[in-house]
Chains A and B, each alone.
Chain A
């Protein structure tokens, strides 16, 4: 099936199998390998991307379902050489170790701050509760998102 998907502002047209998962479309067809795959059951969230601005688990979305829609991946966060504050926050607060869950966490964090610019700890924990991190115990991810919120409030 032919799909036309806008990813990080650029339009891609590809012929794909109807069963192709969005995560594999991004990784294998477009070579955008920042989005990861980690489980088969929508539990781990390392595949989270934004579909029309809303976080989705791209292992549970077919590429054909993204036809005509806009996808944003971690590669689309940095704008004109400037890091997104959530990216900066993860560096500042040591919000990542192995880096595998990081792209998904960043995409959810960006969505959260777009909706709620001043989230408290509980709201941040709830926002990332559909995603797993095996390295950080979540503490520094929470701090990283708070850092980004404060950075955005200060400019």
Chain B
């Protein structure tokens, strides 16, 4: 494949190292004298710590240090701030509040000895009643989990609302048809194949702390370490190496990172801490856990008028969700989805439970997963009530292209869309009418086939700094572009790839803007000493924010090049035109053949060429991109399933996904992103679940119990595309990293419930395991989040 000058299918630059086993992940970091840390965790969901005896562990010949909450309290580090302005215990001092919570940290000469020493620590606990069922967390007799908060008398974190309650209630009061449905988006975990970990190296001589850590937000980590530990920020270097998958799991700061840092300070040696899989699943950022009640008001002929939602949000023992400060429920209030309606209102109540903290993770676009699931399930519930075809009902209510930019009833300004075209393309690709005919024939024979549709609108690329910050840090991202004398370029960006291929796509952006080959652009990321400040990669924000920054800084370079070219050509800058042809980009004098290529200009910019007053030499430039709005990717998904009537086993036979993410920089990479998200949807809809027993024991704490889709559960994905550029993004791109994870779960669930129509089943919660489907077929859907149902 020839390398395109700008956008297009280009093989990834990253692949050369990965296919040779030469990726550099955090566990590959090996420093001289490095020690290994391991964490002792709580076996209880809720217990008071009576005593901790570390003497036997300290006597282990290979143990160098044992750190407890008491040690940290002496350093004022026993608690750390969360991304939601709560606090979280680094190592427990008073109580443990979830099973798997961090209690002590051992530093030893090797990883096996560190683990051995954990068994030598004797902790005496006084077990307390646990709050496991979120629906009972606000009962008057519920145990108070956060008694570390002075004066706290309950487990409520917040009440929050969006939309217009009075108008919405008025529409409901007069509606011809209303439907109500309770549903759970269960607790799931992103489970990247690389677990979390860190290597901390504190140099006592220079006072410099270097932390290798697979973080999606290296700059935010650096600033938080500075604020938490009181270390000077310029003496902290966070290096985020190759990341073995993130999906939101690697946004936050975990206690293990802080422990590794303290371990290095205490021992004077570099300390590596890598969690194991159970630790990853039990203690790091989970996702979802939203108990939702949706209501839709509509006319008898199927015009949707209003949506009303109540949510009980289980945030676990510490409020550690990661989202812009003003939005405690993330972007959930985009729940009106892709539809044209008069009014909407939601109320969200966040509560503490004795479970791990988190909630915003797993390619969720700050809770848009939950919002899309809710509205797309509700549309199908309404379709069932009305006896309408779910595709026709959607087509009738989708926003029309002439309504954009569209301000939703909860205040979002959708930038662009052509929804009917996208849904129609998906239906054409699927052969929708033929599928319905096939389904009817099969139903007559007692076979269970289902067709599920989901249409989603995403809101990504957070975000305008006047509205969006995390702990006071505005969500604008920097970029620096250096052009060497020979015209080769180095782009430095604040975002951090976890597999998205930034080294390729960002090079393509610069290449497109400067008219050079992407092979001539290196992308530097993931090192706070080498890149400009920015908030990192999550919420599908790399292309919408850092990608825009890359384009804008390239345009600054191009503008500087114009001034230099004018001097070279002895012309006025205003008389020059920018053109890119097969040989590259050049500034040429209008109406003449005279011109200078970007390479010629770069060399001249570094030469003794006399430049006009006020024009600096070199072409290097920096910029900070503050997005004017979010971008709104969308898509139409159709899933076809077959359900075994004898076992309840679901087979996903086909999955058609038409995504519109605006301009596609590298379509190959976009398609890969979509494929991965679709597999997530199959997993969440059918397999993945973190349930608990009544004592708070985690029932999904290994890959034996927390089931992820393999190649056998996934069909061969059928992709289509429409392209509706974002009007405010410099290259019209919208971001796509989370679209499929957001859009696919309701398509699968709608398909399974469509298959179960002969049983009169209106709803059953994810995951639709064979047992769950079977119970639904018996008219007795189960509650999936608790083992006791």
A138 and B191 alpha carbons, distance in the complex (Å): 16
Are A34 and B21 in touch, CB under 8 angstroms?
A: yes
**In the complex, A26 Cα to B16 Cα: how many Å?**
21
Q: A98 near B194 (CB under 8 angstroms)?
A: yes
Contact A41 B277 (CB under 8 A): yes
**Residues from chain A with Cβ under 8 Å of B499 in the complex:** 96-100, 135
Does chain B have a CB within 8 A of A58? no
Interface residue tally on B, bucketed by range: 35 or more
Contacting pair A132 B193 (CB below 8 A): yes
Encode B157-200 as 1/0 by CB contact (under 8 A) with A. Answer: 00000000000000000000000000000000011111100000
Task: State whether A129 touches B678 (Cβ < 8 A).
Answer: no
Beyond A106-B19, A137-B714, is A97–B11 a contact (Cβ under 8 Å)? Answer: no
In the assembled complex, the Cα of A145 lies from the Cα of B139 at a distance in Å of: 56
How close is B765's CB to chain A, nearest CB, in angstroms? 23
Q: Given A38-B277, A73-B21, A74-B21, does the pair A139, B704 have CB atoms closer than 8 Å? A: no
Do the beta carbons of A137 and B20 come within 8 Å of each other? no
Check if B759 is an interface residue, CB within 8 A of chain A. Answer: no
Residues of B within 8 A of A75 (CB): 20-21
Interface of B is mostly: loop
CB-based contact B675/A137 at 8 Å: yes
Does B672 lie within 8 Å of A97, measured CB to CB? Answer: yes
Asked whether any CB of chain A lies closer than 8 Å to the CB of B679, the reply is yes
Whether B242 lies near A134 (C-beta < 8 A) is: no
Q: Which residue of B lies closest to A46 (CB)?
A: B193
Q: Are B20 and A74 in contact (CB under 8 A)?
A: yes
Chain A nearest Cβ from B747, distance in angstroms: 14
Q: Does A116 contact B (CB under 8 A)?
A: no
B500 is an interface residue with CB less than 8 A from chain A: yes
Contact with A along B268-295 (1 / 0, CB 8 A): 0000000011100000000000000000
Let me know if B703 and A36 touch, CB within 8 A.
no
Could you tell me if B712 and A102 are in contact, using CB atoms closer than 8 angstroms?
no
Nearest chain A CB to B543's CB is how many angstroms away?
15
B404 contacts across to A, CB distance below 8 A: none
User: Complex: how many Å from CA A96 to CA B245?
Assistant: 11
Instruction: Indicate the member of B14, B23, B674, B678 with the most A CB atoms within 10 Å.
Output: B23
Are B11's CB and A92's CB within 8 A? yes
The reply to whether B244 and A90 contact each other, CB–CB distance below 8 Å, is no
Q: Quick one: which of B12, B243, B501, B708 contacts A132, CB cutoff 8 A?
A: B708
Contact of A138 with B194 in the complex, beta carbons under 8 Å: no
- Mask, A65-109, CB within 8 Å of B = 1, is 000000001110110000100010011101011111111001000
Q: How far is the CB of B231 from chain A (nearest CB, A)?
A: 29
Contact residue among A94, A129, A141 (Cβ-Cβ distance under 8 Å from B669): A94
> Which residue of chain A is the closest to B678 with respect to CB atoms?
A137
Interface residues on A, range: 35 or more
Considering the chains assembled together, what is the distance between the CA atoms of A38 and B499 in angstroms? Answer: 16
- CB of B708 within 8 A of CB of A134, answer yes
Alpha-carbon distance between A124 and B675 when the two chains are bound, in angstroms: 17
Taking a contact as CB atoms under 8 Å apart, the answer to whether A38 and B195 are in contact is yes
What residue in chain B is nearest A19 (Cβ atoms)?
B112
The answer to whether A90 and B19 touch across the interface, beta carbons within 8 angstroms, is yes
- The distance in angstroms between the C-alpha atoms of A41 and B702, with both chains bound, is 7
Contact A97 B676 (CB under 8 A): yes
Flag if B712 contacts A126 (CB, 8 Å).
Answer: yes
In the complex the two chains form, is A97's CB within 8 Å of B501's CB?
yes
Interface centre among A34, A75, A106 (most CB of B within 10 A): A34
- Asked if B193 and A134 sit within 8 Å, CB to CB, the answer is yes
Which residues of B sit under 8 angstroms from A96, Cβ to Cβ? 15, 18-19, 499
Provided the pairs A100-B193, A128-B711, A137-B676 are in contact, do residues A31 and B21 lie with their beta carbons within 8 angstroms?
no
Contacts of A140 in B (CB 8 A): 672, 675
B609 CB-CB contact with A under 8 Å: no
A35 CB contact (under 8 Å) in B16, B21, B194: B21
Q: Across the interface, which residues of A come within 8 angstroms of B675, CB to CB?
A: 136-140
Tell yes or no: B498 within 8 A of A by CB. yes
Contacts known (A134-B676, A139-B717); A125 close to B711, Cβ less than 8 A:
yes
Query: Is A60 an interface residue, CB under 8 A from the partner?
Result: no
Given contacts A97-B676, A99-B242, A135-B676, contact A39 B277 (CB under 8 A): yes
Instruction: Confirm or deny: A142 has a beta carbon within 8 angstroms of a beta carbon on chain B.
Output: yes
Contacts of A11 in B (CB 8 A): none
Residues of B within 8 A of A52 (CB): none
Q: Mark B684-708, 1 if CB is under 8 A from A, else 0.
A: 0000000000000000001110001
Q: Would B676 and A91 count as touching, CB distance under 8 A?
A: no
Residue of B nearest to A78 (CB): B20
Determine whether B247 belongs to the interface, using a CB cutoff of 8 Å to chain A. yes
Q: How far is the CA of A138 from the CA of B194 in the complex (A)?
A: 17
Q: Does A152 contact B (CB under 8 A)?
A: no
Question: Is A135 in contact with B245, judged by CB distance below 8 angstroms?
Answer: yes
Q: Does B428 contact A (CB under 8 A)?
A: no
Q: Chain B's nearest CB lies how many Å from the CB of A75?
A: 5
Can you list 30 residue pairs at the A/B interface with Cβ under 8 Å?
Answer: A17-B112, A27-B28, A33-B25, A41-B703, A41-B704, A44-B193, A46-B244, A87-B20, A91-B12, A91-B19, A92-B1, A94-B11, A96-B19, A97-B245, A97-B501, A97-B672, A97-B673, A98-B194, A98-B242, A99-B18, A99-B499, A101-B193, A106-B19, A130-B710, A132-B708, A133-B193, A134-B245, A134-B679, A135-B672, A138-B714
Q: Chain A: residues with CB nearer than 8 A to chain B?
A: 17, 19-20, 24, 27-28, 31-41, 43-44, 46, 73-75, 77-78, 83, 87, 90-92, 94, 96-103, 106, 121, 124-126, 128-142
Please list the 10 inter-chain residue pairs (A to B) with the smallest Cβ-Cβ separation, ordered nearest first.
Answer: A34-B21, A98-B499, A100-B244, A99-B18, A137-B675, A43-B703, A97-B499, A74-B21, A137-B679, A125-B711
- Which residues from chain B sit less than 8 Å from chain A, CB to CB? 1, 11-12, 14-25, 27-28, 30, 111-112, 190-195, 242-247, 276-278, 498-501, 668-669, 671-680, 702-704, 708, 710-712, 714, 716-717
Besides A38-B277, A97-B676, 5 more A-B contacts (Cβ < 8 Å) are A36-B25, A44-B703, A94-B12, A96-B18, A98-B192
